[in-house]
Amino acid sequence: MKLQQEDTVSIMTLSVLIAAYNERETIDEILRKVLREEIVHQVIVVDDGSTDGTRERLSAWTGMDERITVLCHEVNQGKGACIRRALTHSTGRITIIQDADLEYSPSDYEAVIRPIVMGESKVVYGSRVLCADNEYPLDWFRVGSFAVTQMANLLYGLQLTDEPTCYKAFDTEFLRSLPLSATGFELCPEVTAWTQKRGESIVEVPIRYSKRSVEEGKKIRWQDGVFAIWTLLQVRFK
Ligand SMILES: Nc1nc2c(ncn2[C@@H]2O[C@H](COP(=O)(O)OP(=O)(O)OP(=O)(O)O)[C@@H](O)[C@H]2O)c(=O)[nH]1
Ligand SMILES: [Mg+2]
């Protein structure tokens, strides 16, 4: 659904945060797709000490579009460290997290941020499960995501269908107010946990998804699922 005219002032300020680690094959295309979205006001990409040429590709983007900021970690630190660093540069009223691969569709941004623009919530998650047409096979990645989602629901009284989704959008000031410290993939559950501790609801909307394989560069591992659950437990009993 297209946003109405009266919404356009607030959506002018959408910042997109991208962590990129060895994503040479997809970084250019995902940036093109993100920048094609008119509602995107700022893109902050953090190269996480890539060794495959991603960093060189990113430097070619500097100056190509005034909306892009490229930051570099000399040493690999993890997705959470990248997103937290990017967040300190975010000037948008709304901030969304984007991976440097092609699993998610930036053309879903409007739908994802709509509940924030409309004042319904400060936090929105795009759910891969709620969209029946998705290429979302029932493999170990999906089972792991399901387990993490159920644990989040159990510990925090939620009814989420897809907690580990990459597409998480926030009122930027709200996200900044959370005491985040995660450096890796456990940033996602840490954000979910603190959102609940602050009493803020999470709205879900359906999004498209096309999974990539490990051969195509998917890097998350079963250990990250265990760490996610551990993070949910830690914050719950803090
Ligand atoms: N594995 C890994 N990814 C990193 C790191 N730093 C940044 N990233 C980026 O984090 C993003 C997520 O990695 P993916 O392998 O796509 O993982 P995923 O299964 O999609 O996981 P989610 O981020 O939870 O959706 C990608 O854009 C990576 O390039 C790092 O140190 N390790
Ligand atoms: Mg991904």
Query: What are the tens digits of pLDDT across the range 63-76?
Result: 899 999 999 999 99
- Residue 99 Cα to ligand 2 midpoint, Å, equals 5
Q: Which atom of ligand 1 is nearest to the CA of 20?
A: 29
pLDDT of res. 221? 82
Instruction: Give the integer Cα–Cα distance in Å for 89 and 79.
Output: 16
Residues 6 or more apart whose Cβ sits within 8 Å of residue 140: 222
Q: Confirm if 100 and 36 have CB atoms less than 8 A apart.
A: no
Q: Please tell me the distance between residue 119's alpha carbon and the centre of ligand 1 in angstroms.
A: 30
- Predicted local distance difference test score (pLDDT) of residue 232: 97
**Cα-Cα-Cα-Cα dihedral sign, residues 146, 83, 221, 236:** negative
Rounded to a whole number of angstroms, the CA Rg of the chain reads 17
The predicted structure's pLDDT at residue 9? 45
In eight-state DSSP terms, residue 135 is B
The amino acid sitting at 32 is R
Q: Please provide the size of the chain in residues.
A: 238
| Amino acid at residue number 94 | I
Among protein residues, the one whose CA lies closest to atom 12 of ligand 1: 99
Cβ–Cβ under 8 Å, residues 27 and 18: no
Q: How many CB atoms lie within 10 A of CB 29?
A: 12
**Protein residue with its CA nearest to atom 7 in ligand 1:** 79
Return the residue matching tokens 């795009």.
Answer: 126
Q: What is the pLDDT of residue 3?
A: 56
Q: What is the rounded distance in angstroms from the CA atom of residue 59 to the CA atom of residue 109? A: 25
Q: Provide the number of structural domains found in the chain.
A: 1
Mutate to test the pocket of ligand 1, among 142, 220, 221, 223 (most ligand atoms within 8 A of CB): 220
* Ligand 1 pocket at CB < 6 A: 19-21, 23, 48, 76, 78-79, 82, 99-101, 103, 164, 166, 185, 188, 218-220
108, two tokens = 């879903």
**Domain CATH for 26:** 3.90.550.10
Closest residue by Cα to atom 16, ligand 1, is 218
Per-residue confidence in pLDDT tens, the chain, 238 aa: 555 555 554 455 999 999 999 999 999 999 999 999 999 999 999 999 999 999 999 999 988 999 999 999 999 999 999 999 999 999 999 999 999 999 999 999 999 999 999 999 999 999 999 998 887 888 888 899 999 999 999 999 999 999 999 999 999 999 999 999 999 999 999 999 999 999 999 999 999 999 877 777 777 788 989 999 999 999 999 8
- Please tell me the distance between residue 171's alpha carbon and the centre of ligand 1 in angstroms: 23
Provide the pairing of β-strand 168-171 with 123-127.
antiparallel
Q: What is the pLDDT of residues 155-195, one digit of tens each?
A: 999 999 999 999 999 999 999 999 999 999 999 999 999 99
Residue with tokens 């053309």: 107
* Closest residue to atom 11 of ligand 1, CA basis: 99
Domain extent, residue 215, equals: 5-236
> Considering only CA atoms, which of 102, 86, 78 is closest in space to residue 16?
86
Q: How many helices (H) and strands (E) does the chain have?
A: 9, 7
